[in-house]
Each structure stands twice: as structure tokens, then as C-alpha cells.
């Protein structure tokens, strides 16, 4: 197959959903037995673990997930923080506070404002940032990114980006400017329903967005994060498509690292209709299922979730957490909430989250890795 879309187009949403809901207890027990014996799980096993039939086995899944995570990652949690560059957007998306039709004040940080943000974030202890923007290539495109990255490289050793899907050559350029990770979420893999959520703008192009991870891989970016927006459509079916895409990407880009995130719909300007509610217990099931399915992938849990939930999930599969997040441009230096994309739930400071992590016997990792050291290690391997 030449692309993930070739694989994707072989399965209808309805048929895929049916294979999940048809799973029985026997399939769940088989998947758990394989996980316990360190046997690699198949997509069929993953279907069983996210199915309703697996709900009575949640405690068993959680304990296995905890063991597997500690074996692979140790007792460490990597910390990062999102830095919003702009809330300008050329798309109309029914679930997003930045949607072009929402009557909110728009702004893009200039370099003076951006430096103030960088200084404020650095004082919080972070060395790993995630740059986020609305999708507006005219206002926040490659020219702007070059300026911003030149400034931010002076402050942070690891820079990730979650911006509009770009072309392969653009991703190559971002890599040369110091970007280590690209995050892109399909939102939902239900092609027909996708069109009802994305009414205008380039984001309405389902296929272009679906192919974005492969353009990132072709550009040689070190890590890519994928996922779906939990609450738009049936979370089990969307989650299976994420697993399918992850498996495809790992085989095609075996030298890359991968991460998964679990964003649930949150209140925002304009409202957000939750068509497929997901309980916290079901979110635990999904996170543990991903860990049993893939012991290498990084799993990230954001401040969208409550402090209590994040405390409890710390040891059950998660490897990365944000803290003290602001979802508006200028949020760290000005504390202006009128521009935020959505409201967060865990409002603790980074210091408070770090203290919680340490109290549970885990080490807080503020810095991911130094790019130059990776190059040195590669040369040593060759020698």
C-alpha cells in the first residue's frame, strides 16, 4: 500500500464499528493473556480491549498497563506546556473556540510579546514547549514560524508544533529550524460526519489532513503525535482508526517516535456538542488499551482532565503531562482569558503538579533530549 488512505478506504465506518461491538469475553481474555506474556497484540486484540466486553476487566487492564509502562519508561513523567502563538483562523469548525465565525478578539503575538511569553514559561521550569496556533496560513505561516522559532530556540531545547497541516518541504524547513515534534489530530475518522464539523477552510479537506503524518514522516521529523477528538463521534471506532494509523506509520517510518493524546471536548466559545459522551472510566479503558497494544508509544494527558483524574492516571500508562496550561495567546505573561480556545480543568501550577508526581515516587523530566547529543550518539554508533 502506498499510503494510509489506501488502507483506510478498504473499511467502512459502520463495518469497523460492528467488529468492535461484536467482541466477546473470550476475545478480551485472549488479548489480556497475550499482553501478560509480552506477546505483541494485533488490531483484533485492541478491538476487544476497547469494546464494551472489556469493561469488567478494567482493573486487570490497569495493572498490566502499569507494569508494562514502568518496564519500558521507568517511573518518569515528561512535562511540557502549550504556547499559543495566535488565535487567528480561516476555518469554520463547529467545536472550536477559535472558529472563524466566533466573534472573539483576534491576535497574533509579535516577537516582543513572544519573548515575554518565553520568559514567563521558562520561569515555570519548562524546557519543552508545544507551539499552537489557529489555522491561518496568511497570518501565521512559514515566514512567521521562522521568526518565532529563531527566538524560541534561545530558550527551549525541545520544540513541538501543532499548527495547520503543511507540505513536506515545509516540514523539512521546520526541522531545519529546530522543530522536533509535530502533532496533528484527524479529529474524527468518520469521513461523512467530518464534513458536518468542518464547514469552511482548508481543514475541510479530509484527505489532505489524513495524509499529514506521512508528509511529516517523509520530511524526517523526529516524532509525530496523532489522535482524535473524543466526543465528536463514537470514541471506540475513532480510537481504532488511530491505532490502525499508528501501526501503519510505525511500519513505514520505523526510525520515528510516536505519541498519542486523548483530548476530550471541553466548553468553548460557540459551544461544543458532545455527540458521543465518554466517561472517565471509559477514558481509563482506552488509555490502558493503547498501552497494552503498544508498549513503545508515548501517551500524553493534558489539563483538559481534572486534577483527581490525572493524579490517578499517573501510574497507569501515561508518560507525558502538561501543567499550568493557558489556551490563549499571551496567557502566561498577561493572564488574559478572553482569548482562550477552550477552558481547562486541572488549574494547578506546574510546581504543584510536579510535587504530586514526586509524591507518587516518579521523577519529573523537564527536558526531553538535546538534538546535538542525538547526532553525536549516531556518529558514535557508526564508529
> Which CATH number belongs to the domain containing residue 311 in this structure?
3.20.20.70
What does the buried/exposed string (b/e) look like for 39-72 if buried means 16 or more CB atoms within 10 Å of the residue's CB?
eebeeebbbbbbbebbeebeebbbebbbebbeee
- Residue found by looking up cell 471541553 in the block: 266
d(CA 164, CA 204): 12
Q: Does 206 map to a domain? A: yes
Listed residue (181, 179, 131, 119) closest to 155, CA to CA: 119
Q: Does 304 map to a domain? A: yes
Degrees, nearest 5: CA angle 158-159-162: 145
- For residue 134, the model assigns a pLDDT of 87
Report residue 335: phi and psi, to 5°: 60, 30
Q: Does 269 map to a domain? A: yes
d(CA 54, CA 47): 10
- Residue found by looking up cell 517511573 in the block: 75
Instruction: Give 298's strand partners.
Output: 259
Listed residue (361, 316, 323) closest to 125, CA to CA: 323
Q: How many structural domains comprise the chain?
A: 1
Question: What sign has the CA pseudo-torsion 84, 152, 184, 353?
Answer: negative
What does the buried/exposed string (b/e) look like for 347-364 if buried means 16 or more CB atoms within 10 Å of the residue's CB?
ebebeebbebbeeeebeb
Range of the domain at 101: 56-382
Instruction: Give 159's strand partners.
Output: 129, 179
Q: Is there a contact between 60 and 32 (Cβ–Cβ < 8 Å)?
A: yes
- Residue found by looking up cell 499548527 in the block: 163
Sorted by sequence, the CB contacts under 8 Å of residue 308 that are 6+ apart come out as none
Mean pLDDT by 10 residues, the chain (383 residues): 93 96 98 97 98 98 97 96 93 84 86 96 96 89 97 97 97 98 97 95 96 98 96 95 98 97 72 78 97 97 94 95 91 70 82 97 82 44 40
Q: Is there a contact between 267 and 45 (Cβ–Cβ < 8 Å)?
A: no
Degrees, nearest 5: CA angle 231-232-238: 90
Quickly list DSSP for 256-296.
SEEEEE-PBP---TT----SS---HHHHHHHHHHHHHH-SS
Q: DSSP 3-state assignment of 85? A: strand
Cell of residue 2, nine digits: 502506498
- For residue 338, the model assigns a pLDDT of 54
Q: What is the pTM of this model?
A: 0.92
d(CA 140, CA 106): 12
Cell of residue 150, nine digits: 529563531
Cell of residue 354, nine digits: 510536579
d(CA 72, CA 336): 40
Listed residue (180, 136, 183) closest to 158, CA to CA: 180
d(CA 37, CA 96): 43
d(CA 146, CA 237): 38
Q: Does 209 map to a domain? A: yes
Q: Does 318 map to a domain? A: yes
- For residue 334, the model assigns a pLDDT of 79
d(CA 2, CA 166): 20
Q: Does 366 map to a domain? A: yes
Q: Does 19 map to a domain? A: no
Helix (H), strand (E) at residue 316: none
Q: Does 287 map to a domain? A: yes
Amino acid at each position: 500500500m502506498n499510503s494510509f488512505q489506501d488502507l483506510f478506504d478498504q473499511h467502512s465506518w459502520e463495518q469497523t464499528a460492528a467488529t468492535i461491538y461484536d467482541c466477546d469475553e473470550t476475545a478480551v481474555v485472549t488479548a489480556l493473556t497475550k499482553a501478560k506474556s509480552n506477546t505483541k497484540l494485533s488490531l483484533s486484540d485492541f478491538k476487544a480491549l476497547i469494546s464494551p466486553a472489556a469493561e469488567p476487566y478494567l482493573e486487570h487492564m490497569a495493572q498490566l498497563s502499569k507494569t508494562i509502562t514502568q518496564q519500558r519508561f521507568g517511573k518518569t513523567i515528561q512535562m511540557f506546556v502549550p504556547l499559543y502563538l495566535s488565535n487567528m483562523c480561516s476555518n469554520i469548525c463547529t467545536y472550536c473556540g477559535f472558529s472563524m465565525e466566533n466573534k472573539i478578539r483576534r491576535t497574533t503575538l509579535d516577537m516582543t510579546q513572544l519573548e515575554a511569553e518565553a520568559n514567563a514559561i521558562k520561569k515555570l521550569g519548562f524546557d519543552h514547549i508545544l507551539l499552537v496556533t489557529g489555522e491561518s496560513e496568511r497570518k501565521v505561516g512559514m515566514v512567521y514560524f521562522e521568526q518565532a522559532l529563531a527566538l524560541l530556540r534561545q530558550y527551549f531545547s525541545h520544540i513541538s508544533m501543532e499548527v495547520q497541516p503543511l507540505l513536506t518541504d515545509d516540514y523539512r524547513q521546520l526541522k531545519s529550524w529546530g522543530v522536533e515534534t509535530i502533532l496533528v489530530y484527524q479529529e474524527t475518522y468518520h469521513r461523512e460526519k467530518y464534513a458536518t464539523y468542518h464547514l469552511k477552510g482548508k481543514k475541510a479537506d479530509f484527505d489532505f489532513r489524513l495524509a499529514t503524518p506521512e508528509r511529516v514522516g517523509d520530511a524526517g521529523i523526529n516524532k509525530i503525535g496523532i489522535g482524535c477528538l473524543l466526543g465528536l463521534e463514537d470514541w471506540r471506532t475513532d480510537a481504532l482508526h488511530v491505532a490502525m494509523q499508528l501501526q501503519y506509520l510505525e511500519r513505514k517510518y520505523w526510525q520515528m517516535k510516536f505519541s498519542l493524546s486523548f483530548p476530550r471536548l471541553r466548553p468553548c466559545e460557540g459551544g461544543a456538542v458532545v455527540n458521543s459522551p465518554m466517561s472517565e472510566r471509559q477514558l481509563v479503558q482506552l488509555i490502558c488499551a493503547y498501552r497494552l497494544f503498544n508498549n513503545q508509544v508515548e501517551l500524553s494527558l493534558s489539563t483538559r482532565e481534572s486534577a483527581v483524574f490525572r493524579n490517578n492516571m499517573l501510574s497507569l500508562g501515561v508518560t507525558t503531562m502538561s501543567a499550568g496550561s493557558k489556551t490563549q495567546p499571551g496567557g502566561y505573561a498577561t493572564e488574559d482569558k478572553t482569548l482562550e480556545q477552550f477552558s481547562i480543568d486541572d488549574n494547578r501550577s506546574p510546581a504543584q503538579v510536579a510535587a504530586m508526581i514526586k509524591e507518587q515516587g516518579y521523577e519529573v523530566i523537564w527536558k526531553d533530549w538535546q538534538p546535538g547529543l542525538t547526532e553525536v550518539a549516531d556518529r558514535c554508533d557508526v564508529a
